[in-house]
């Protein structure tokens, strides 16, 4: 930047600013692109030196960096080059959201009531970004789902709203654990719920804890017969089988399933999770995901 000083030390302002070459370099675009944008969209606006050379303010760099980021995200130059900085920041999602007075949980339920899909995803994203994995799963998401059940039982949420919320949570969790699992070469875990058990969100949470600990997940999902769980563990060379069981699954059936899996799965670790534990030899039961996560990390490292 050409800052010139008079012999007495004062700065002459006529030469302040960036040349077009310096601006192009700072923003990472070609000089010719900047000239084209100015010709087509009237931006960026330089001031001219007496020599006719362009000079740009430093603010222009920040503005054009937003422009190029948005173009990389798929916007056309004609949509973004003419915008001022505030409009660009809004488009880039950098603008501060308006202050909200209610708790994150209440905002989640409000979004569930109005079936505001984006609003619900945003609440999850925000918590996900701020909490560690166990804080998110055990501390935030599980209580939120339990409260969902209570509100449904009190008639404050309809079945449709509860189903809608559960689907959003499932999609969110899958969107986190599947890409992690796909790029890993750690031990394999098969994940399933036993026959008759349709509650699968705890299992998705377990899958996320495992994937975050470096494991690969083979997700069979809800309502899987015992023999098929065993066959999948054999076929994938799984080191562990993880199961989810809610209190609605009949205890006698669950005990039977766990005994059969223990007999058939040999040395493989078997974890079962849920709020109503059943004791069976060879089964590690967890009522939270912290335990599974810490065990899984040790296993993946060893
Ligand atoms: C969403 C939901 C459903 C959805 C499930 C959708 C899905 N894709 O999962 C649907 C609509 C299918 C459903 C159906 C039913 N549901 Co329902 N459901 C719920 C609800 C609201 C949330 C469940 C949930 O995901 N909780 C979140 C989990 C993750 O919480 P959590 O178990 O506390 O999880 C922690 C630990 O248990 C552990 N953990 C959990 N899983 C695992 C796994 C592993 C490997 C490990 C290590 C740890 C672990 O870590 C977690 C985090 O800390 C609950 C309410 C509640 N209180 O949970 C009712 C609830 C479980 N359902 C209930 C009932 C009765 C039913 C139905 C019988 C209703 C009906 N009449 O049709 C059916 C049964 C369907 C079936 N055959 O399985 C009752 C069960 C009560 C009981 N004692 O029997 C509850 C408690 C609601 C209530 N208050 O009455 N349900």
- Residues flanking ligand 1, CB < 6 Å: 137-138, 142, 145-146, 148-149, 153, 163, 166, 170, 196-203, 205-206, 242, 244, 246-248, 271, 273-275, 286-289, 292
Half-sphere exposure of residue 117, counting CA atoms within 13 Å on the CB side?
Answer: 7
268-290 confidence digits (pLDDT tens): 999 999 999 999 999 999 999 99
181 pLDDT band, cuts 50/70/90, is very high
Mean pLDDT over 137-141 rounds to: 95
Q: For the packed helices 117-130 and 159-182, what is the interaxial angle rounded to 10 degrees?
A: 50
CA of 60 to the centre of ligand 1 (A): 54
Q: How far apart are CA 23 and CA 46, in angstroms?
A: 11
> What atom in ligand 1 is closest to the CA of residue 291?
47
In a domain, 249, yes or no: yes
Residue 4 has what pLDDT?
46
Are residue 196 and residue 284 in the same domain, yes or no? yes
In a domain, 98, yes or no: no
| Number of domains present in the structure of the chain | 3
Are residue 200 and residue 247 in the same domain, yes or no? yes
> What atom in ligand 1 is closest to the CA of residue 198?
78
Measured by CA distance, the residue closest to atom 2 of ligand 1 is 199
Are residue 271 and residue 192 in the same domain, yes or no? yes
102-111 confidence digits (pLDDT tens): 788 888 999 9
Are residue 213 and residue 272 in the same domain, yes or no? yes
Are residue 170 and residue 189 in the same domain, yes or no? no
How many other C-beta atoms lie within 10 A of the C-beta of residue 42? 10
In a domain, 96, yes or no: no
Dihedral of the alpha carbons of 128, 130, 132, 138, in degrees to the nearest 10:
-60
191-206 confidence digits (pLDDT tens): 999 999 999 999 999 9
Measured by CA distance, the residue closest to atom 88 of ligand 1 is 149
59-105 confidence digits (pLDDT tens): 888 889 889 988 988 888 998 999 888 888 888 876 655 555 678 88
Range of the domain at 163: 104-175
Residue 214 has what pLDDT?
94
Percent of the chain having pLDDT more than 70? 92
**Where among 30, 58, 91 does a domain terminate?**
91
Instruction: Kindly report the CATH number assigned to the domain that includes residue 214.
Output: 3.40.50.280
Mean pLDDT over 24-51 rounds to: 89
CA of 145 to the centre of ligand 1 (A): 8
Are residue 10 and residue 71 in the same domain, yes or no? yes
Predicted TM-score (pTM) of this structure: 0.75
**Where among 34, 60, 91 does a domain terminate?**
91
Are residue 13 and residue 34 in the same domain, yes or no? yes
């Amino acid at each position: 930047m050409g800052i010139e000083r008079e012999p007495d030390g004062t700065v002459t302002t006529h030469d302040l600013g960036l040349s077009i070459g310096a601006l192009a370099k700072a923003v990472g675009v070609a000089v010719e692109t900047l000239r084209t944008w100015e010709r087509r969209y009237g931006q960026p606006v330089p001031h001219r030196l007496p020599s006719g050379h362009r000079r740009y303010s430093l603010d222009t760099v920040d503005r054009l960096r937003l422009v190029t980021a948005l173009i990389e995200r798929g916007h056309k130059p004609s949509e973004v080059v003419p915008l001022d900085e505030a409009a660009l920041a809004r488009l880039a999602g950098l603008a501060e959201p308006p202050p909200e007075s209610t708790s994150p949980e209440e905002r989640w339920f409000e979004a569930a009531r109005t079936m505001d899909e984006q609003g619900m995803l945003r609440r999850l994203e925000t918590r996900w970004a701020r909490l560690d994995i166990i804080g998110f799963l055990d501390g935030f998401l599980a209580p939120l789902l339990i409260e969902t059940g209570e509100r449904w039982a009190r008639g404050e949420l309809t079945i449709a709203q509860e189903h809608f919320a559960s689907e959003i949570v499932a999609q969110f969790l899958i969107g986190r654990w599947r890409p992690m699992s796909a790029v890993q070469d750690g031990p394999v875990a098969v994940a399933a719920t036993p026959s008759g058990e349709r509650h699968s969100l705890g299992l998705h949470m377990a899958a996320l804890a495992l994937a975050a600990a470096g494991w690969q997940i083979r997700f069979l999902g809800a309502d899987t017969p015992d023999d098929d769980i065993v066959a999948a563990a054999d076929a994938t060379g799984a080191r562990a089988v993880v199961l989810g069981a809610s209190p609605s699954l009949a205890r006698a059936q669950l005990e039977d399933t766990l005994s059969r899996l223990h007999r058939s799965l040999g040395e493989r670790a078997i974890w079962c999770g849920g709020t109503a534990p059943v004791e069976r030899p060879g089964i590690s039961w967890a009522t939270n995901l912290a335990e599974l996560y810490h065990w899984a990390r040790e296993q993946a490292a060893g």
